[in-house]
Amino acid sequence: MHHHSTTTRRSPAPPPPPQHPTLTLLFTLFLSLNLTTAWRPYPQHQKNNITELIYNGYKKYEGSSEFVKLKYHMGPVLTENIAVHIIWYGTWPTSQKKIIREFINSISDSANRAPSVSGWWKTVQLYTDQTGSNITRTVKLGKEKNDRLMSHGKKLTRLSIQSVIKSAVTAKTKPLPIHPKGGLYLLLTADDVYVQDFCQNVCGFHYFTYPSIVGYTLPYAWIGNSAKLCPGVCAYPFAVPNYIPGLKPVKSPNGDVGIDGMISVIGHELAELASNPLVNAWYAGQDPSFPVEIADLCEGIYGTGGGGSYTGQMMNDQDGATYNMHGIRRKYLVQWVWNHVLNYCTGPNALD
């Protein structure tokens, strides 16, 4: 069991330039190849050798599949109806909760106009298990638990996150249901909570709980509100990193940079939880401790032509806000996911 492995959602922002002058040429090559790599969760595993990243990397732009060896490793995918149970950690205004709840409820709402969130989920539904059953189209908001007083403090580690989930499912009043078959557990942290590795190119991750801590094996994800800590890293393109002079942020569709940035990370994690819930189903790469999953392959791509540091073609509403899909009463910007049938990244707003 890999106690210290989680599958991590890297920042959608273009990577910072290397500090070492001799690496500049390699870095330019690295950028020009449009690669993403599985981010390595602990420093002792980190590889700083850019050439290795190039040769062991994965192309992540729309039209390329040369490097991508996404494989099915025979584990389960989520074929039964999904209930997304949320733990709101810290102080969460109702207006922020609404944006997130409506996004989750939009996944199964086929009534929304195209391009829609449910159209985006159709790519996720293409993934199957050993029996040929597809991932479910039904994703619903489950139960919610507030942890306003931050039961495990303002700084969480990857292990203490599991204890937060344990507290929520074993609470004396209104515990979250234990729902091992179709239940996903989202721990969402407010903008003043720090989580291990947050902002160091990490905006969220998913894994499963250990029975030794929680009592059950439950697929879960953590996503943080980056508004105060690092919006240029985790809420890109609604905020931009300060190492790229002249890059202008775009206007967020729901008027909240931190939450609009979280939406794409939540989408990323839900897609990977559905297709790789126990980290033994759909991923690329040789090492299950550092899998490259269906959303990792399309990190930072929101439209046709995306790749490298280019987001691809997005849409603008009459107020000038940028989005790429419609949900229930709202617009959202959500990254694309890898389509293993076509062998490239796809999304509902693709220009044919």
Cβ-proximal residues to 52 (8 Å cutoff; 6+ apart), any chain: none
Q: How confident is the model at residue 179 (pLDDT cuts 50, 70, 90)?
A: confident
Estimate the crossing angle of helix 257-275 against helix 117-125, to 10 degrees: 30
Least confident of 103-117, 118-132, 252-266, 285-299: 285-299
Sign, CA torsion 330/335/340/344: positive
Q: With 80 as the cut, is the pLDDT of residue 9 above it?
A: no
Closest residue by Cα to residue 209 from 168, 172, 174: 168
pLDDT tens-digit map of 197-214 = 999 989 999 999 999 999
What is the DSSP secondary-structure string of 46-82? ----HHHHHHT-EE-STT--TT--EEE-S-----SPE
The rounded distance, in Å, linking the Cα atoms of 347 and 325 is 9
Q: What is the pTM of this model?
A: 0.86
Cβ-proximal residues to 66 (8 Å cutoff; 6+ apart), any chain: 59
The confidence score (pLDDT) of residue 352 equals 74
The CA distances from residue 97 to 5, 117, 219, 260, in Å, are: 29, 18, 21, 11
Q: How confident is the model at residue 66 (pLDDT cuts 50, 70, 90)?
A: low
The confidence score (pLDDT) of residue 324 equals 98
**Maximum average pLDDT range among 32-36, 179-183, 212-216:** 212-216
Q: With 80 as the cut, is the pLDDT of residue 94 above it?
A: yes
pLDDT tens-digit map of 284-300 = 988 878 899 999 999 99
Q: With 90 as the cut, is the pLDDT of residue 98 above it?
A: yes
Q: How confident is the model at residue 17 (pLDDT cuts 50, 70, 90)?
A: low
Q: With 60 as the cut, is the pLDDT of residue 100 above it?
A: yes
Distance of CA 322 to the CA centre of its chain: 19
Task: Locate the DSSP E strands across 132-182.
Answer: 139-147, 155-156
Mean pLDDT over 236-251 rounds to 92
Q: With 80 as the cut, is the pLDDT of residue 318 above it?
A: yes
Q: How confident is the model at residue 235 (pLDDT cuts 50, 70, 90)?
A: very high
8 A C-beta contact, residue 249 and residue 240: yes
Q: With 60 as the cut, is the pLDDT of residue 34 above it?
A: no
pLDDT tens-digit map of 122-165 = 999 999 999 999 999 999 999 999 999 999 999 999 999 999 99
Q: With 50 as the cut, is the pLDDT of residue 272 above it?
A: yes
8 A C-beta contact, residue 126 and residue 134: yes
Mean pLDDT over 59-65 rounds to 45
Instruction: Determine the residue type at 188.
Output: L
The rounded distance, in Å, linking the Cα atoms of 295 and 335 is 8
Cβ-proximal residues to 327 (8 Å cutoff; 6+ apart), any chain: 102, 103, 105, 106, 109, 112, 116, 117
How many Cβ atoms from other residues are within 10 Å of residue 201's Cβ? 17
Cβ-proximal residues to 120 (8 Å cutoff; 6+ apart), any chain: 107, 267, 325, 334, 336, 337, 347, 348
Provide the 3-class DSSP secondary structure of residue 223: strand
Closest residue by Cα to residue 105 from 281, 350, 327: 327
8 A C-beta contact, residue 164 and residue 152: yes
